[in-house]
Amino acid sequence: MPNTQQLKDLTIQVRRDILRMVHKVNSGHPGGSLGCAEFFVALYNEIMDRNEGFNMDGIEEDLFFLSNGHISPVYYSVLARSGYFPVKELNTFRLINSRLQGHPTTHEGLPGIRIASGSLGQGMSVAIGAAQAKKLNNDSHLIYSLHGDGELQEGQNWEAIMYASAKKVDNLIATVDLNGKQIDGATDDVLAMGNIKAKFEAFDWTVVEIKEGNDIDAILKGMAEAKSKTGQGKPVCVLLETMMGNGVDFMMHTHAWHGKAPNDEQLASALSQNPETLGDY
C-alpha cells in the first residue's frame, strides 16, 4: 500500500503526463484533468479494490466509470501508471491510429475503459446499470463514477439520480467534480444549478462533501466515509471541490484552460512547477 507521499509524487508525475500529452497534439482538456489528478491517483491506488489485468465484466472488483470523458488525459495517465497499458503509449494521445482517442472509448480496446464517454450526461445511468449487474451477480464490490458539475445540466443525470434512490442502488459512489467552471465560464454564469448538495439530498441520496478535493489525505478520508455509507439503502454522492488547472499557477482560478493546450513556453513553465518524480513517458 503506497503511503501518502508516494501518492503525492505520483500526482505530480500525472500532472506532467497531462501537460505533455495535450501540448504535443495542441488539443485536449488540461484544466479538469489537473483538477482531478489527486482524485484519480487516490482512486486507482488506494480506494478501489481492483483485480490484476483487465476484464470487461469486472467481476469481483470495484469498477470506475468516467462520465465527463473530456478529462481523458488524467484518466489515461493514471490507467497507464496503474498497469493497464504501457506508459509509453501516452505518447499516442489523440494521434491517428491510437487507442487513446480524444475521448475514452472501448472501440479501440484500450484496457481499463468499459464505456465510451464524451457526449455528456450518460455515465450515471451506465454506472447504475453496472451497479445493478453487481447485485444480480451477488458481487459485493462497488461502482465508482465521476461527473463534471457542468455536466449536471444534462437532464439524463436527473433521470438517473431519481432512479438510483428509488431502486436503492446503494453500491454506487458517484462523485461530482465541483470546480464551478465549464467551457463558457463559471457554472453560476452559464446556468446556475443552485445548491447541488440540497438537490441530491432532495432526491434521497447520501451526500459526502470533500472540501479539499486536491488534498490526497482529504480525499482518502472523504472516500472512506463515502464507502462506509454504502449498503444502507441509498446511493452515495461525493461532492469533490477541486481547482481546475490545479498545480499550474497560470491555469488556476480561470476556466480558460478547460479545453486549451499550453504552448512551448507555457509548457516549460508548467513543468518547472512540477518537477519529474517517477519518470516521464
Partner 1 sequence: MKTYTYTEKKDTRSGFGAGLAELGRTNPNVVALCADLVGSLKMDTFIEENPERFFQVGIAEANMMGIAAGLTIGGKIPFTGTFANFSTGRVYDQIRQSIAYSGKNVKICASHAGLTLGEDGATHQILEDIGLMKMLPGMVVINPCDYNQTKAATLAIAEHNGPVYLRFGRPSVPIFTSVDQKFEIGKAVKMTEGNDVTIVATGHLVWEALEASKALFEEGISAEVINIHTIKPLDEEAILNSVAKTRCIVTAEEHNYLGGLGESVSRVLALNNPTPQEFVATNDTFGESGTPAQLMEKYGLNSTAIIKKAKTVIGRK
The C-alpha cell at 240 is: 469533490
Query: Binding marks (x or -) toward partner 1, 35..54, rule CB under 8 A?
Result: --------------------
> In degrees rounded to 5, what are phi and psi of residue 171?
-110, 30
Residue 233 C-beta: closest distance to partner 1, Å? 17
Q: Of the two residues 155 and 194, which places its CB atom closer to partner 1 in the complex?
A: 155
| Of residues 274, 209, 211, the one with CA closest to residue 34 | 274
User: Letter for the amino acid at 177?
Assistant: D
Considering the rule CB under 8 A, would residue 119 count as an interface residue with partner 1? yes
Q: Of the two residues 158 and 281, which places its CB atom closer to partner 1 in the complex?
A: 158
Residue 134 C-beta: closest distance to partner 1, Å? 6
Residue 66 C-beta: closest distance to partner 1, Å? 13
Residue 18 C-beta: closest distance to partner 1, Å? 24
Among 33, 105, 171, 187, binds partner 1 (CB under 8 A): 105
Considering the rule CB under 8 A, would residue 140 count as an interface residue with partner 1? no
Q: Of the two residues 117 and 206, which places its CB atom closer to partner 1 in the complex?
A: 117
Residue 263 C-beta: closest distance to partner 1, Å? 32
Considering the rule CB under 8 A, would residue 58 count as an interface residue with partner 1? yes
Residue 170 C-beta: closest distance to partner 1, Å? 16
Considering the rule CB under 8 A, would residue 118 count as an interface residue with partner 1? yes
Residue 111 C-beta: closest distance to partner 1, Å? 14
Considering the rule CB under 8 A, would residue 129 count as an interface residue with partner 1? yes
The CA distance from 36 to 72, in Å, is 11
Q: Of the two residues 44 and 257, which places its CB atom closer to partner 1 in the complex?
A: 44
> From residue 121, how far is each of 23, 27, 54, 155, 221 by CA, in Å?
27, 22, 25, 7, 27
Q: Of the two residues 204 and 225, which places its CB atom closer to partner 1 in the complex?
A: 204
Among 72, 122, 171, 242, binds partner 1 (CB under 8 A): 122
Residue 180 C-beta: closest distance to partner 1, Å? 26
Residue 276 burial (CB < 10 Å; 0-12/13-18/19+)? exposed
Q: Within 155-194, which residues bind partner 1 (CB under 8 A)?
A: 155-156, 159-160, 162-163, 166-167
- What are the residues binding partner 1 (CB under 8 A)? 56-59, 63, 65, 105-107, 114-119, 122-134, 136-137, 139, 155-156, 159-160, 162-163, 166-167
